[in-house]
Amino acid sequence: MKITNVAYVGYPVTDIARARHFYEKVLGLKTGDIVEENDKPGEGNFSWIEYDVAGQTLAISNAWPPSGKSGPSIALEVEEDLATAVAQLKAAGATVTMEHIPSPVCDMAVITDPDGNSIIIHKLKPGHTH
């Protein structure tokens, strides 16, 4: 077996409408090719929403329950400086759990979505690339 690519990063959510508001309004993401909203309580259906983030796919779904504990995370690169990005996220109502994590190559902050999933806000320092 040979892994050739990351297919997607998937986050479990409990409330599709609330999660879509967060990912689309707070983070400003646009939906990708797959948007299936079949969420009918009691009927065993689920919703799956994909967002295209610079050629990668972030999916949210209520197909499995969030653990509310540490698990996979996605790091989203921002254009502006980290302090500005964090201020904008706070103003939009995001929960910031760590405001500044410095490293030799980048600066990061950690926010959570409404279900407690961690999202890293990432800013490379000048002269560094992924």
Contact 77, 109 (CB under 8 A): no
Q: What percent of the chain has pLDDT over 90?
A: 31
pLDDT value for 29: 94
Looking at the predicted structure, is the pLDDT value of residue 53 above 70? yes
Partners of 98 in the beta sheet? Answer: 110
Mean pLDDT on 57-71: 77
Partners of 35 in the beta sheet? Answer: 49
Answer yes or no: is 129 within a domain.
Answer: no
Answer yes or no: is 52 within a domain.
Answer: yes
Q: What is the pLDDT of residues 15-36, one digit of tens each?
A: 889 999 999 999 999 998 777 7
Answer yes or no: is 1 within a domain.
Answer: no
Output the average pLDDT for the chain: 84
Alpha helix locations (H) across 1-130? 16-20, 82-91
Answer yes or no: is 103 within a domain.
Answer: yes
Answer yes or no: is 2 within a domain.
Answer: no
Answer yes or no: is 4 within a domain.
Answer: no
Mean pLDDT on 71-91: 89
- Residues sharing a CB contact under 8 Å with residue 19, sequence separation 6 or more, in sequence order: 13, 49, 60, 113, 114, 115
Domain boundaries, position 58: 9-124
- CATH code for the domain of 104: 3.10.180.10
